[in-house]
Amino acid sequence: MNALMNTYARFPLTLVRGQGSRVWDDAENCYLDFISGIAVDTLGHAHPKMTQALSAQAATMLHCSNLFHIPKQQQLAATLCADSGLGAAFFCNSGAEANEAAIKLARKYFYDQGSSRRTVISATRSFHGRLLSTLTATGQDKVKVGFDPLPPGFIHVPLNDLDALKSVINQQSAAILLEPLQGEGGVNIADAAYLQGVRKLCDEHGLLLMFDEVQTGIGRCGTMFAFEQAGVKPDILTLAKGLGGGVPIGAMLATDAVAASFGPGTHGSTFGGNPLSCTAALTVLEVIEEESLLANVKARGEQLMQGLKAIQARFPVIKEVRGQGLLIGAELSVEAAPLIAQAREAGLLVLSAGPNVLRLLPPLNVSEAEVDEALVTLATVMERTQ
């Protein structure tokens, strides 16, 4: 009897261990992992430096609560702020919690100014989490069914449509919340010119610009943060997934002026930023630098992109290949699920981003040979399917 609630459509696979970019099931079958825990396993599986750091921290202190100063939490905050150009950080446990904190901070910021601005504008096809507020901010109706009444104060407009965005800005608008690259919504890229235009609109109208980089942040797109590629800096930034390399942690960063609206009692998280999760995040950031993983993401991302385009030339079932770094989607003219199953049978784990987009999310330290192996497997699957 399965005592778990039926909240996930699970693959028919039981994974029991991993090493690098590979995982093994309970029958000792080996798979090349191009899911990475849905963009979480930044350093792959069982990275020796991560294993050592977590073991040492577990032997020292797992948790002490935010009633006390936590040196590694302060170190992580300083590192993330230096890397992002923002002023202060708040730590929690997930991307949904980070986005919840961002929405609360934006509203509190305008409350402190004596303003009635509360509305958050986000994009259709976006995904911001499964809390009631972040669910409502999400631009996909399918995830909202059965959870009404949803909280007010959210509007959605199409991505990359600056005119549509302009048309909904009014005196109640507080913030614009965007993913620089929509992962769950289909691997849809926000154009650099669009993001620059959004920044200008926010400055002109006194709105806050919030970037959800839960999936794109921490090197996934080839720069530490995807917003760097547009030359635009947000007022609020959210992170999670790859930040902890497999250990749950979320972060919400903001400029000093905006962050000042959070004081004792305004927000909190029991487990947020505990010694273990901060050790994991610091280790991820250290390894990214020590192993030059941003350069590897760019090189392997280009290899994967070009390889998929070569497969597309042979098999027109692939309509478009798009993405940045190691967050790549292949839009298909058919449903993705059968191809995902065929790839799994052939020893490659990939996932979808909507019904007809294949999504590939290998670890940031994936090798050239492993990318080649994945491409050969996908080509073979395409050939069999054809």
Residue where a domain terminates, one of 262, 290, 318? 290
Is 6 domain-assigned?
Answer: no
Nearest to 235 by CA among 253, 261, 217, 212: 253
Look at the block and give the residue holding tokens 């609109």.
201
pTM (predicted TM-score):
0.97
**242-264 confidence digits (pLDDT tens):** 999 999 999 999 999 999 999 99
pLDDT of res. 1: 62
Q: SS3 of 379, please? A: helix
147 and 212 part of one domain: yes
281 and 313 part of one domain: no
| Over residues 76-90, mean pLDDT | 98
- Say whether pLDDT at 56 is over 80: yes
CATH number at residue 345: 3.90.1150.10
**276-331 confidence digits (pLDDT tens):** 999 999 999 999 999 999 999 999 999 999 999 999 999 999 999 999 999 999 99
Provide the percentage of residues in the chain whose pLDDT is more than 70.
100
Provide the percentage of residues in the chain whose pLDDT is more than 90.
99
* Annotated catalytic residue within 72, 211, 241, 262: 241
Is 214 domain-assigned?
Answer: yes
pLDDT of res. 2: 85
CA distances to 7, 18, 262 from 343, rounded to whole Å, are 24, 18, 47
| Over residues 75-89, mean pLDDT | 98
Sign of CA dihedral 239, 169, 354, 100: positive
* Annotated catalytic residue within 34, 90, 110, 127: 127
User: What is the distance between the alpha carbons of residues 71 and 74, in angstroms, rounded to a whole number?
Assistant: 5
User: What is the distance between the alpha carbons of residues 109 and 102, in angstroms, rounded to a whole number?
Assistant: 10
Is 158 domain-assigned?
Answer: yes
| Over residues 266-279, mean pLDDT | 97
Nearest to 297 by CA among 231, 251, 363, 245: 363
Residue where a domain terminates, one of 290, 311, 330? 290
Is 10 domain-assigned?
Answer: no
pLDDT of res. 237: 99
pLDDT of res. 64: 96
- Say whether pLDDT at 386 is over 80: no
| Over residues 24-35, mean pLDDT | 98
Instruction: Say whether 241 is catalytic.
Output: yes
CATH number at residue 242: 3.40.640.10
Total domains, the chain: 2
151 and 161 part of one domain: yes
Residue 18: strand pairing partners? 23
Name the residue range of residue 313's domain: 15-33+292-385
**DSSP calls for 120-170:** EEEETT----SSHHHHHHSS-GGGTTT-PSPPS-EEEE-TT-HHHHHHH--
| Residue 348 C-alpha from the chain's centroid | 22
pLDDT of res. 384: 86
137 and 95 part of one domain: yes
- Say whether pLDDT at 77 is over 90: yes
Instruction: Say whether 191 is catalytic.
Output: no
263 and 348 part of one domain: no
CA distances to 178, 213, 251, 282, 371 from 96, rounded to whole Å, are 14, 11, 10, 21, 31
**185-231 confidence digits (pLDDT tens):** 999 999 999 999 999 999 999 999 999 999 999 999 999 999 999 99
pLDDT of res. 244: 98
* Annotated catalytic residue within 33, 41, 91, 212: 212
298 and 286 part of one domain: no
User: What is the distance between the alpha carbons of residues 53 and 287, in angstroms, rounded to a whole number?
Assistant: 12
pLDDT of res. 168: 98
What is the residue-averaged pLDDT of the chain?
Answer: 97
User: What is the distance between the alpha carbons of residues 215 and 200, in angstroms, rounded to a whole number?
Assistant: 25
| Over residues 86-114, mean pLDDT | 98
At 70, list the tokens: 């936590």
Residue where a domain terminates, one of 236, 260, 290? 290
352 and 364 part of one domain: yes
